[in-house]
Amino acid sequence: MKHLILSSIILLLQLCCTNDQISKTESKDEPDTYHVTDDDAEMNDAIRTAKQTLDKFANALKSGNKDYQNFALKIRFNAPNGGEHIWVSDITLKDNNYIGIVDNTPESTTEVKIGDTIQIVNENISDWMFYENQKLRGGYTLRIIRNRMTEEERNQFDLESGLIIED
């Protein structure tokens, strides 16, 4: 299956009820999973920003600009512990509805599985992203997680992704 981004940066974001603000689960054959509490103010602000700027994503997707690539939406799915946020790639618009392919193996939700083609409910969008000449556009929740990485992890992330992430 074509992955949206290198496996090291295709991040799942799972909202859960724990005492720590963020924790990481490493997997051998899957991208790392970052667990964030549902009361994480910075992450909730990032989700709000993504929702408020979704028109930028839509305009870029509709533009046909060849410099824009790898369109993806992060979608919240119901899970036993609250919700799981998963990147959906290969985004297209059909009759003003987003359609895409689930790009990660879910950790706790049973609503979808990797490779499923789904129609996206706009209210469930928690982030958006695309590349413009290798520069990340959007990716607000991804930026929060990247900023919380150690310097070593951040350098590895940047090296493996090949992305330019501007502040």
Query: 123-158, pLDDT tens digit by residue?
Result: 999 999 999 999 999 999 999 989 988 999 899 888
Query: pTM of the predicted model, to two decimals?
Result: 0.82
Instruction: Please compute the mean of the pLDDT values over residues 58-72 and round it to a whole number.
Output: 97
pLDDT 10s digits, 36-58: 667 789 999 999 999 999 999 99
Alpha-carbon distance of 30 to 10, in angstroms, equals 9
Q: Are strands 12-16 and 33-37 parallel, antiparallel or unpaired?
A: parallel
Tokens read off for 109: 């939700």
Q: Tokens representing 119?
A: 């129609």
The total number of residues shown for the chain amounts to 167
Across the chain, what does the average pLDDT equal? Answer: 83
Q: Please measure the distance between the N-terminal and C-terminal CA atoms of the chain and give it in whole angstroms.
A: 31
Q: Residue 166: which pLDDT band, with cuts at 50, 70 and 90?
A: confident
Give the integer Cα–Cα distance in Å for 127 and 144: 12
